[in-house]
């Protein structure tokens, strides 16, 4: 597949480059990669995740993950073993840090159940967030497999590029945010006993080298170096900015689809518009190996 590299002007002024200028377009010859939007997301086809992948496929999927921030796969009837084998290519699998969670454990300690039906009072992840940013080393990535989806649509997941959101900030705002840190308090979402950590507001992705905004509505309580009212105003601007449609894509689930996102440069939010229908699947997470790096 050949990628296109686009340069265009956003409606809010700053030019946005769809791909980093220092990353030449990649030709994928062992998988097929179809971009889902200008800034984030790609669907991977010509791959069977119920089998061992070749070294070339693994290398191309890893490249696509860093480049596109979230990968989508269709028609993959995976078992727990398949799920774990594929996710483990990206690092050590980890456990949820939340004290009280809506998702549930399964018989396998590394696999969590994400199941919602007519008895559900809430679902996980209805606001923009990156997973468990309250952890000292937040998870590198999360891989959600849904085997059952609502019959007449609904239950899509939205993904936003925090790179594109950063790139679109004015130089003055980038300078203002540089060097600030924020508190991410897990108790806001998962109750007492969940970790609380401080991370830089602007981070640099360890693999792509790109800068992104690392605060989110779910976990971030305040910017440490600012007075409370200023922190609230800045965070509220950043949340609105990250959630803009211009750098988001929307994934429509079908049965046996997978979404695999990079928590270091993407935020996501799940839509609960399908009650009382069923949406059901399993998620694993790949552990981070270091705290986020200041950008």
Tell me which residues are annotated as active site. 129, 131, 268, 283
Cβ distance to ligand SIN smaller for residue 110 or 144: 144
**Shortest Cβ distance from residue 263 to ligand SIN (Å)?**
10
Burial degree of 145 (CB within 10 A; 0-12, 13-18, 19+): buried
**By C-beta, is 168 or 270 nearer to ligand SIN?**
270
Nearer to ligand SIN, 72 or 163 (CB): 72
Tell me the closest approach of the beta carbon of residue 281 to ligand SIN, in angstroms: 8
Question: Is 144 a residue that touches ligand SIN (CB under 6 A)?
Answer: yes
Beta carbon of residue 21, minimum distance to ligand SIN (angstroms, whole number): 32
CB proximity list for 181: less than 8 A, separation 6 or greater: 198, 199, 200, 201, 223, 224, 225
Kindly report the backbone phi and psi dihedral angles of residue 166, in degrees, each rounded to the nearest multiple of 5, phi listed first.
-65, -50
CB of 45 to ligand SIN, least distance (A): 21
Number of H helices, E strands in the chain: 6, 20
* Closest separation in Å from C-beta 282 to ligand SIN: 11
Nearer to ligand SIN, 3 or 131 (CB): 131
124 binds ligand SIN per the rule CB under 6 A: yes
CA distance 149 to 257: 9
Q: Does 130 bind ligand SIN (CB under 6 A)?
A: no
According to CB under 6 A, which one of 87, 168, 266, 270 is a site residue for ligand SIN?
270
Collect all residues with Cβ–Cβ distance below 8 Å to 204 and sequence separation of at least 6.
Answer: 210, 211, 212, 293, 294, 295
Is residue 128 classed as helix, strand or coil in its secondary structure? Answer: coil
d(CA 117, CA 276): 6
Q: Is 285 in the site for ligand SIN (CB under 6 A)?
A: no
SS3 breakdown of the chain: % helix, strand, coil, rounded to 5? 20, 30, 50
| 208 contacts ligand SIN (rule: CB under 6 A) | no
Q: Is 41 in the site for ligand SIN (CB under 6 A)?
A: no
CB closer to ligand SIN, 69 vs 124: 124
- List 37, 157, 220, 267, residue binding ligand SIN (CB under 6 A): 157
CA distances (Å), origin 20, targets 27, 32, 66, 242: 16, 21, 11, 19
DSSP 1-24: ------EEE-TTSSEEESS-TTSP
Q: Which parts of this chain interact with ligand SIN (CB under 6 A)?
A: 114, 124-125, 131, 142, 144, 157, 268, 270
């Amino acid at each position: 597949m050949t990628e296109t590299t686009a340069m265009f002007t956003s409606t809010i002024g700053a030019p946005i480059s769809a791909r980093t200028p220092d990353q030449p377009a990649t030709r994928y010859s062992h998988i097929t990669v179809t971009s889902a939007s200008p800034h984030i997301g790609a669907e991977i086809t010509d791959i069977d995740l119920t089998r061992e992948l070749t070294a070339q496929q693994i290398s191309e999927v890893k490249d696509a993950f860093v480049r596109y921030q979230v990968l989508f796969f269709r028609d993959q009837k995976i078992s727990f073993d398949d799920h774990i084998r594929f996710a483990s290519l990206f690092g050590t699998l980890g456990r949820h840090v939340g004290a009280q969670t809506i998702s549930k454990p399964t018989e396998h300690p590394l696999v969590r159940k994400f199941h919602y039906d007519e008895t559900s009072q809430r679902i996980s992840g209805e606001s923009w967030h990156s997973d468990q940013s309250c952890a000292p080393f937040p998870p590198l990535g999360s891989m959600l497999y849904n085997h059952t989806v609502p019959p007449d649509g609904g239950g899509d997941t939205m993904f936003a590029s925090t790179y594109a959101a950063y790139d679109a900030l004015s130089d003055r705002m980038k300078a203002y945010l540089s060097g600030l840190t924020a508190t991410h308090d897990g108790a806001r979402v998962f109750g007492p006993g969940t970790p609380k950590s401080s991370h830089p507001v602007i981070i640099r992705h360890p693999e792509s080298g790109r800068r992104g905004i690392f605060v989110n509505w779910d976990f971030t309580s305040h910017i440490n170096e600012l007075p409370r009212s200023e922190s609230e105003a800045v965070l509220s601007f950043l949340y609105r900015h990250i959630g803009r449609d211009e750098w988001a894509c929307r994934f429509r689930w079908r049965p046996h689809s997978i979404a695999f996102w990079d928590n270091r440069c993407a935020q996501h939010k799940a839509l609960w518009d399908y009650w009382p229908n069923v949406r059901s699947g399993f998620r694993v997470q790949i552990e981070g190996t270091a705290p986020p790096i200041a950008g």
